[in-house]
Amino acid sequence: MNIREIAQLAEVSVSTVSKIINGKDQNISQPTKERVLKIVKENNYVPYSDLRGASHQQSLLVGVMVNETAAHESLLKPVLNTAKRYGYNTIVCTSSDAKEEKRNFASLLAHHVDGIIWDRCEETAGGLTEEDLVNREIPFSVIDSYHAPALWNHYFDYKKLGYAAAQALIENRHQRIGCALRTDGILSKRFLSGYQQCLYDNKIPFDATLCLPCDKKEAVDDLILRHPSGIICYDIQIAKMIYQAAARTNLRIPQDLSLVGISDSKADTGLIPRLSAIHLPFEELGEFACSRVIEKIEKKKLLDVSFSANYLVDSNSSIDVPNGLRNKKIVVVGAINMDTLVNMGCYPKPGETILAKSRVMIPGGKGINQAIGAAKLGAEVHLIGKVGKDYDGSVLYDFLNANNVNVQAVVTDPKVSTGHAYIYVKDDGESGIVIYDGANQNLQPADVGRNEAVFENASFCLLQTEIQMETVEYAAKVAKKHGARVLLKPAAISKISDTLLANIDIFMPNRNEMRSLYPGHAPLEQKAQYFLDHGAKDVIVTLGHRGCYWRNAENSEYFAAADFDPVDTTGAADAFAATLAVYLSRNYDMRTAIRYATYAAGFSTTRQGVPPSLVDQSTLELYLSDI
């Protein structure tokens, strides 16, 4: 703002303004003096402030005008830190409208700042323009998402934000995606444009009824009632309203409704589950804008002309596959036994007779153990197996039903009795097992084939080798046919075919089984690699109190055991397998799933009998949250 502009606003001559400012206003009327001084104060006019001096001596000051209406305070810290790093001090002004921006600009000029960072308001009428800065020949950067881009303009690309948010849901197989917007505003329109472009690129039809302004509770409820499987939210306030609406309508996030939001802060919002968000990169933008201004001040070659960012969703905490597409079932194909547990101090030597400390009968078999282990963790579990038409068979059938295992594919064989396992447990918790196969050996590939529908929409198939190998191989093929991953826990075998390994995603022997399947003194890592080379995708070797070892094409890693005092280790591997499958099916990464499985296995050793010792989901997750 110069003296001519002040004179124009006051509708007086330049000499009149000069006389008033310099106290030579005896012949000027009081109303005129008051009008001129009011305009001078409003515009922070300082005489000669527009003259930067013939020597252009630097003040080492950077002016910052922050848009307080857009909650852009997050820009300040990176701007201040960057300026300090370059040896500059800063003067900060906040603006709520275009007129205040113009007054702040005049004030910064009065302080002879070397450059200006202008976080521009959306309103422009009667305010500062880029030409005003250009004409003053002062280095500047504009942070402005609202208006047309220019070389000096750095901004958040709301079209890309809308695209990235929609893409995160599409990658999780969503097709019916809602878009929750603000009622008006150019940024909301650009966000919608990015969403539309993403749908087009992914060949998903655009449905205008799923794109609503959601400033009010009624509008949010209206969007929920249109049954989108996922919604992208323009800002965090809208996301909070959708969480509230979901609670009112008994929708679970993300099981029933997935959400992605745009957030202007990385602080915890208090939403449970935590919102999957794209965080506006204020730190990067503030640092970039300040660096560019200082490069201009110091007449350095600009490193980058304009700001760009990668807009990434921070997590999948509020995103899941749509309910109708979710691979939510776990199929277990395996042995069903009645177990007899005999507790003794040590195993008898040949010809020796010892007294047992106690004896108990309890449901068991790896099929039962893994099925109940997964069901207790909240999974939908279907068991394929065979029992005899006897008392034990009926007890086991009722037991599975009572523990939320689907038994429609459990077959009754009238020609043979139910399988039985005799488990001998020593004082240190180690156990040995003798198995009578019974009906388990009559479980045929045809029994699996007749129940193939069970594999539809399954995430995992858990297999063990306590049943016929041809049945195991057939079940693995059927599982892969339906897109399920296969976990195989070998037991009581000395070889395994490459044909079977080719259909195995996770091969899970213990250290003794590894010795039987790969005799010799090679290192464990080399033995695990052998099974990878012959078709398995991942190998996990359970090592008892030493934890486990995981190996695949990219990873080779040991995991410590959980710290529990063992009473009976019989079901530890089954607890591990069931837990691993459940958490992998919930999109946890392998390391996290192994961590859960390790603690579930540890829990299972603290009581006698496998089913009673298997941990439930709330207990496991509560325990892990405290360590």
CATH at 523: 3.40.1190.20
246 and 356 inside one domain: no
Q: Which residues pair with residue 359 across a beta bridge?
A: 342
For the cut 90, the answer to whether the pLDDT of residue 470 exceeds it is yes
Answer yes or no: is 323 within a domain: no
What share of the chain has pLDDT > 70, as a percent?
Answer: 94
Kindly report the CATH number assigned to the domain that includes residue 22: 1.10.260.40
Q: What is the pLDDT of residue 318?
A: 93
Tell me: the pLDDT tens digits for 431-460?
788 888 999 999 999 999 999 999 988 999
Q: Return the SS3 of 340.
A: strand
Answer yes or no: is 367 within a domain: yes
Q: What is the pLDDT of residue 41?
A: 67
Cα distances (Å, whole numbers) of residue 524 to 414, 543, 598:
44, 11, 19
For the cut 80, the answer to whether the pLDDT of residue 485 exceeds it is yes
Answer yes or no: is 71 within a domain: no
- Compute how many other C-beta atoms are within 10 angstroms of the C-beta atom of residue 288: 23
Answer yes or no: is 203 within a domain: yes
258 and 342 inside one domain: no
Torsion, Cα 161 163 168 169, to 10 degrees, reads: 120
For the cut 80, the answer to whether the pLDDT of residue 430 exceeds it is no
336 and 481 inside one domain: yes
Contact between 550 and 580 (Cβ < 8 Å) = no
Contact between 293 and 116 (Cβ < 8 Å) = yes
Answer yes or no: is 309 within a domain: no
165 and 271 inside one domain: yes
Burial class (CB in 10 A: 0-12, 13-18, 19+), 515: middle
Which runs of E-coded beta strand occur in 151-209? 153-154, 177-181
Pick the residue with more confidence: 626 or 17? 17
Pick the residue with more confidence: 97 or 549? 549
Tell me how far apart the alpha carbons of residues 462 and 581 are, in angstroms, rounded to a whole number.
8
Pick the residue with more confidence: 110 or 400? 400
Contact between 606 and 563 (Cβ < 8 Å) = no
Contact between 50 and 113 (Cβ < 8 Å) = no
Q: Return the SS3 of 489.
A: strand
Cα angle 350, 351, 354 (rounded to 5 degrees) comes to 95
Pick the residue with more confidence: 462 or 103? 462
Tell me: the pLDDT tens digits for 562-582?
888 888 788 899 999 999 999
Burial class (CB in 10 A: 0-12, 13-18, 19+), 13: exposed
Answer yes or no: is 344 within a domain: yes
Of the candidate ranges 302-316, 345-359, 465-479, the one whose mean pLDDT is the lowest: 302-316
For the cut 90, the answer to whether the pLDDT of residue 273 exceeds it is no
Average pLDDT over residues 609-615: 86
Q: What is the pLDDT of residue 132?
A: 83
Split into its structural domains, the chain has a count of: 3
Tell me: the pLDDT tens digits for 508-542?
999 999 999 988 889 999 999 999 999 999 999 99
Report the Cα 63 to chain-centroid distance in Å: 39
**C-alpha distance across the termini of the chain, in Å:** 62
What share of the chain has pLDDT > 90, as a percent?
Answer: 48
438 and 545 inside one domain: yes
From 279, 307, 337, the end of a domain falls on 279
Tell me how far apart the alpha carbons of residues 446 and 20 are, in angstroms, rounded to a whole number.
105
Q: Return the SS3 of 533.
A: helix
Average pLDDT over residues 460-485: 94
For the cut 50, the answer to whether the pLDDT of residue 55 exceeds it is no
Of the candidate ranges 37-41, 97-101, 250-254, 292-296, the one whose mean pLDDT is the lowest: 37-41
Handedness of CA 331, 334, 340, 346 (dihedral sign): negative
Helices vs. strands in the chain: H and E counts, helices first: 22, 24
542 and 446 inside one domain: yes
Q: What is the pLDDT of residue 53?
A: 44
Tell me: the pLDDT tens digits for 71-120?
666 788 899 999 999 888 999 998 888 888 888 888 898 888 989 998 88
Q: Which residues pair with residue 212 across a beta bridge?
A: 180
Average pLDDT over residues 148-170: 85
543 and 470 inside one domain: yes
Kindly report the CATH number assigned to the domain that includes residue 195: 3.40.50.2300
Answer yes or no: is 175 within a domain: yes
Cβ burial 130-157 (10 Å sphere, 16+ → b, else e): bebbeeeebbbbbbbbbeeeeebbbbbb
What confidence tier does 324 reach under pLDDT thresholds 50, 70, 90?
low
274 and 372 inside one domain: no
Longest dimension (CA), the chain: 131
* Element containing residue 529 per DSSP (H, E): helix 524-533
374 and 227 inside one domain: no
Q: What's the domain range around 547?
A: 329-625
Q: What is the pLDDT of residue 411?
A: 93
Answer yes or no: is 117 within a domain: no
Place of tokens 């196969």: 437
User: Quick check: bond before 139 cis, omega within 30?
Assistant: no
Tell me: the pLDDT tens digits for 134-147?
888 888 888 887 77
Handedness of CA 454, 460, 466, 467 (dihedral sign): positive
For the cut 60, the answer to whether the pLDDT of residue 50 exceeds it is no
335 and 275 inside one domain: no
272 and 373 inside one domain: no
For the cut 90, the answer to whether the pLDDT of residue 160 exceeds it is yes
Pick the residue with more confidence: 475 or 625? 475
What confidence tier does 627 reach under pLDDT thresholds 50, 70, 90?
low
What confidence tier does 617 reach under pLDDT thresholds 50, 70, 90?
confident
38 and 163 inside one domain: no
Pick the residue with more confidence: 51 or 228? 228
Q: What is the pLDDT of residue 602?
A: 92
From 279, 295, 319, the end of a domain falls on 279
User: Quick check: bond before 254 cis, omega within 30?
Assistant: yes
Tell me how far apart the alpha carbons of residues 231 and 412 are, in angstroms, rounded to a whole number.
47
